Structure 1
């Protein structure tokens, strides 16, 4: 409990309106917290780290942090239902990757309904046949993107948000996945929309599949890594995959938050919490505090308390 309180106080400090400089929003609109979190599927093979033993801790993390934008990975259908029940303030979007309905893992987007309206949403698969559940290139599993267009209830910001889980085996699949996502954003992004991309990319920032996201595409789409763009740097460990070790000594940051260049990033962080020496998942959640700049028309106002 103490670690949760300290974490909430820390992020509250980072979110304070008194922060000045390049991270300051264009108007007096509160920033939004984006989180990507691979929650690890429910499998008895995990023993003491299986979902029933860590579910309440993980849900408590999300409830305490209250991210407005939440990208989840490795979510089985019953896990999705449990999250929806425990977190009623979120609209949870997405389909199962195996059949486009309820079969297989979800990579759902959870949007805080108190802050945003969802105006459109959908799914595409990272494969040569993106409109149907399908395996791409040298991938081990079907992979997909869950996306949503959202508008802020109190301020007018419009965002195009994507959440994904890239393949852990196929290097060719990851390269194609990055190119495909950039092309999709370039084709589908509307004037005045800013972009947030969340996910478990199964690749570090130094790998070509991820580097292309910030290099852009032939269509002109380009993203910014929230970690490098953060005005206040990054807190927490330098890795996100922990293998259920709450104190890992080595590894990579493979869970990322990317944004369009106009979004100011106040702070980026990796949340390395544990409860009685156990991690809530085999990944740490990764967060970024964001200030969207466009779409407000100078008419930003805070939501009522």
Structure 2
């Protein structure tokens, strides 16, 4: 009996060889970004508001922040400057205050959003004062959710102990309401930059070298060495992409009008 020809054995061996398929790497999903502005608008009775509010609305319509927070809002009647601005930009508006609706003048802050708001809330920081109500808004960002808190850590009286008490209240509230979502705080901070970071561990200011900008005494910004308006973000959840001041340029006999800052943040990739 003759053995099969050698070429036939070689062909059978080739047919039985396993096929190796190499998987192509999946395209990386771009990380979601979030832009947040922390502002203080001119008072409603200030001529600068009457003459420049349209320019303010146009500037913010160009910048298109996802969320705008406004400090030191005074509401008389049913409308305040922040919610007027929201109506022009077609944003939602939440007025954050501890004052009862029956009060003629109500003091607080405002949160404006062009993103879908999933949840919101209000708490009171101690010691209480005209602007000691803090607010929270949970918005949809990409396929996830982000908590945005607004607070003015300038207690009355403004002492280091009172500021730390308010910071502790805020951190406790964040821990109780964040539900594991990335969180940031847009606010006005009376302490120095190092004290702000020390009082709110895990959070980092978006504004670089804020101590280089000296606040003007009498401008309603508190202490000369205060940190000022900024956005603090959780280092574990965000990376700062860029930040910029928001201001109106000189117009005729009207000087530069500083409004605040805007931070553009990139969400970190989830662990694993």
TM-score when normalising by structure 1: 0.65
Look up the match of 2:92: 91
Q: Deviations over 1:130-187 (max 9, x none)?
A: xxxxx62xx5x341111111222xx212111101123264223322111111111122
The offset of 1:251, in angstroms, is 6.7
The offset of 1:238, in angstroms, is 4.1
Q: 8 Å contact 1:96–1:106 — kept in the other structure?
A: yes
Q: 8 Å contact 1:178–1:212 — kept in the other structure?
A: no
The offset of 1:98, in angstroms, is 1.8
Look up the match of 2:37: 35
Alignment of 1:1-305 (within 5 A): 27-29=29-31, 31-43=33-45, 46=46, 48-49=47-48, 51-77=49-75, 78=79, 79-88=81-90, 90-99=91-100, 103-112=105-114, 116-127=115-126, 136=128, 141-152=130-141, 155-167=142-154, 169-171=157-159, 172-191=161-180, 193-206=181-194, 208=195, 210-214=196-200, 216=201, 222-228=202-208, 238-239=212-213, 241=215, 253-261=227-235, 262-276=237-251, 277-280=254-257, 283-294=258-269
Q: 8 Å contact 1:123–1:147 — kept in the other structure?
A: yes
Q: Secondary structure at the match of 1:83?
A: helix
Q: 8 Å contact 1:242–1:251 — kept in the other structure?
A: no
Q: Secondary structure at the match of 1:72?
A: strand
Look up the match of 1:23: none
Structure with max Cα Rg: 2
Cα separation, partners in 2 of 1:237 and 1:204, compared to 1, 3 Å: closer
Larger deviation, residues 174-183 vs 95-104: 95-104
The offset of 1:53, in angstroms, is 2.1
Q: 1:285, 1:142 → 2: CA distance? A: 18
Q: 8 Å contact 1:179–1:212 — kept in the other structure?
A: no
Higher relative strand content: 2
> Structure 2 unaligned runs (5+)?
1-27
TM-score when normalising by structure 2: 0.73
The offset of 1:62, in angstroms, is 1.4
Q: 8 Å contact 1:33–1:67 — kept in the other structure?
A: yes
Q: Deviations over 1:263-284 (max 9, x none)?
A: 011112223432314234xx53
Q: 1:159, 1:213 → 2: CA distance? A: 22
Report 1 or 2 for greater relative contact order, CA contacts < 8 Å, sequence distance ≥ 6. Answer: 1
> Structure 1 unaligned runs (5+)?
1-25, 128-134, 217-221, 229-233, 299-305
Cα separation, partners in 2 of 1:242 and 1:165, compared to 1, 3 Å: same
Cα separation, partners in 2 of 1:272 and 1:80, compared to 1, 3 Å: closer
